[in-house]
Amino acid sequence: MTIPTFPVLMKNIGAAALLTVILLSCSGERSGKNPWTGLGSVPEGNGKKVYADYHGVRYTRQHDGKLGRWEMYADTRQSATGRKTLCYNADLIDSAGRHLIAAQAYPQVGMQSNLDEDYIEYQILSAKTAGIDGFFIEWGYFPHENDVLLKAMQKAAGKYGFEIGVNWCDGWLYYDWITKIYPEIDTREEKTDYMAGCWQYLVDSVFNVPTAPLVDGRPVFYHFGPGAATEEFSKVLSQAVYPEHMKMPAGLRRWADWGHLENGKYVPVTYSADIEAWKALGEIPTAWLPARVRTMDAEHPYWDNYATADDLTEFMKPFRDSIWLDSDPRFTVKSGFAMPGMDNRGCAGWGRGHFFYIPRNGGATYEDMWRFCMESRDSLDMMFVASWSDYTEGHEIEPTVENGDRELRTTLRYASAFKETDCDSSGLGLPLRLFELRKSEKFLEKCVAAVGENADIHGKKLSGIRTMALRVAAILDEAAVRIASGRYGRAEKLLGRAEKKLSSLHGFFVPETVKTDGLEISASGSGFSVTLPEALLKKLRSCHYKGYVEFDYLDEGREYLFVRSSTEREPADRFNVVGKLRTDGSGEWKHAKMELYPENILYRDGAPAFYFSDGVRVRDIAVEYEIYNMSPADSWN
């Protein structure tokens, strides 16, 4: 059904009943078109938008040869909680098959690379099915790694009618990060001059492209700060050349002053001279993560500070009273704000040793923030959600093992009412199915490539299998477009066809499990090497596989252990790392399991397969492989 416009609902049933309508009315399909792409980013509703902050960059050994934000090591002795360190060895895999990532929740699709095209597609389509119009990539400057992420996101977004903007963390520019790249940029004046070039880059490459985030035709970005002062940013703005047709981009300035407690009640900050200066420059104060002013107590022993549900409401009131309901013409884009909760035990304030917590309350926190904003819906132009993917601080809404797609379902219900678009929840599970099928098809291609395309068994050539697999890939491409355009019924049929074809094709390969311990260990440089049996090496060189190396290590001190291999991938000093771990001083023997990626490892004749660095005591090394070879001929009949 189509949700009636907000004023009609308010007149006929009142605000309380409206919330019931929001929660119960998810059905039907959207059909709005983006004039750039023909896909459904621009709704058939009222033109309001919903954007989500995107935190990165997270990598994998398989895709990138590194881990990025999935791993974290930090000294947290200054925390009042008594926790002394963070030690997230993301290369290690636990008994449930999960990597030990720097987070309190685990992604529904597992640990993936933010630059993996399949993962980007999954995230964009998942966001679209939940009524989210675009991501704001946390970005500081070029050539930072987040600019690589920005471009990768733009490429995929262009295919699916999605928008990509930035959450400009210009503080990164005013740290010494840019000086490490360009030593000549080492003063604030020089950094401000460089920032002017970054702003022109955003004008040209983010705000004036088909994937630009537009609210009522105006480019918009979130301005996190805390880099340029107002006079410096005024200089930056004045030096830019703007396209004639472009409205001046709207900057949503982060306002997250702390506030305090009075008689146990949170009292927010309602005036800031700094924010007034930013308003004079044309930026619009916008919320970020609510303040956590309550200190650790018996009910919250793992965090230095926390907030309650009532605190969140009080935190948001100044935005409603002084921004949303204000007719100031400088406020060209007014944005509400919602977040699902927070648990930053994955980073402790990015190594500053401070643990923060805002409970999710089974999803109620996120709903409450949406409800608060919906009360002022007619005064708002967009909603900003923090965040899609900040697992490290624990406020992600991307589906997880622990929370499922609960936050996406909440987003869809409220976003549909906010934007006056149809609410169809039948598409929410399709991006996950698509992602799993993408990986299944690619695994099949690797099996074919490893065995050899010219092999011929009973007249069936592997090249023919690969051709059929590529046809499946084309079906998946079509399904992705259908999901993006809200044609969920058609997309589901296509995914069903692909599942059947892939199931049949995978039947041409059978796994053989090989476990080997008692390996040949030899001294090698400052560590030792591990050599595999020649018979096993022969199979690994001729077949695709899934593999793992396991061992026990003594957790003493704060030492790093690297496991390396030979590789043909470049840069070799990244891709030759099978995995690493850091000890955490428990004094206990611990078990380690690392995955062995065929793309990265070169098994050479007469040479060790793996090299362990010195400094950490290791014992009981073993490897296990699941090797995929062609099925016996008689199974093809």
Query: CA of 177: how far to CAs of 180, 201, 223, 393, in Å?
Result: 5, 19, 19, 22
CA distance 544 to 388: 34
Helices 117-129 + 145-160 axis angle, to 10: 60
Taking only the tens place, the pLDDT of each residue in 323-360 is 999 999 999 999 999 999 999 999 999 988 999 999 99
Q: What is the pLDDT of residue 630?
A: 86
Cα–Cα distance measured from residue 464 to residue 510, given in angstroms and rounded to the nearest whole number:
18
pLDDT at 551 over 50: yes
Confidence band (pLDDT; 50, 70, 90) for 40? very low
CB atoms near residue 470 (< 10 Å): 12
Can you give the pTM of this predicted structure?
A: 0.93
Of residues 128 and 22, more confidence is placed in: 128
Counting residues of the chain whose pLDDT is more than 90, the rounded percentage is 87
Q: Is the per-residue pLDDT at 172 higher than 70?
A: yes
178 vs 633, residue with greater confidence: 178
| Contact present, 603 and 574 (Cβ < 8 Å) | no
Per-domain residue ranges for the chain?
6-58+111-424, 430-506, 512-636
Of 484, 489, 477, 486, the C-alpha closest to 438 is: 477
Mean pLDDT to the nearest integer, 177-182: 94
State the CB neighbour count (10 A cutoff) for residue 371: 17
Q: Residue 457 above 80 pLDDT?
A: no
pLDDT of residue 39: 41
pLDDT of residue 168 exceeding 60: yes
- Grade residue 52 by pLDDT with cuts at 50, 70 and 90: very high
- The residues that bridge with 252 in the sheet, in sequence order, are 222, 284
Instruction: Check for a shared fold between 6-58+111-424 and 512-636.
Output: no
pLDDT score recorded for residue 525: 80
Name the least confident of 13-17, 94-98, 173-177, 446-450.
13-17
pLDDT at site 43: 46
pLDDT of residue 2: 35
List the single range of 42-56, 132-146, 311-325, 586-600 with lowest mean pLDDT: 42-56
User: What is the reported pLDDT for 11?
Assistant: 38
Q: Is residue 460 pLDDT above 80, yes or no?
A: no
Q: Which among 274, 234, 231 has a CA at the least distance from the CA of 254?
A: 274
**Which CATH number, 1.10.3720.10, 3.30.70.940, 3.30.420.40, 3.20.20.80, labels domain 6-58+111-424?**
3.20.20.80
DSSP letter (8 states) at residue 613: P
pLDDT band at 45 (very low <50, low <70, confident <90, very high): confident
What's the pLDDT band for 495 if we cut at 50, 70, 90?
very high
Backbone dihedral angles phi then psi of residue 226, each to the nearest 5 degrees: -100, 70
Query: How many whole angstroms from its chain centre is CA 568?
Result: 29
- In this prediction, residues 153-180 reach a mean pLDDT of 96
The predicted structure's pLDDT at residue 38: 40
**Mean of pLDDT values over 86-109:** 98
Lowest pLDDT segment from 6-15, 259-268, 500-509, 614-623:
6-15
Work out the mean pLDDT of the chain and round it to a whole number. 92
- Asked if residue 25 has pLDDT above 60, the reply is no
CATH class held by domain 512-636: mainly beta
CA terminus-to-terminus distance, the chain: 51
Pick from 550, 559, 552: nearest CA to 588 = 552
Residue-wise pLDDT tens digits, 350-406? 988 999 999 999 999 999 999 999 999 999 999 999 999 999 999 999 999 999 999
Cα gap 448→454, rounded to integer Å: 10
Residue located via tokens 């119960």: 24
pLDDT at residue number 44: 65
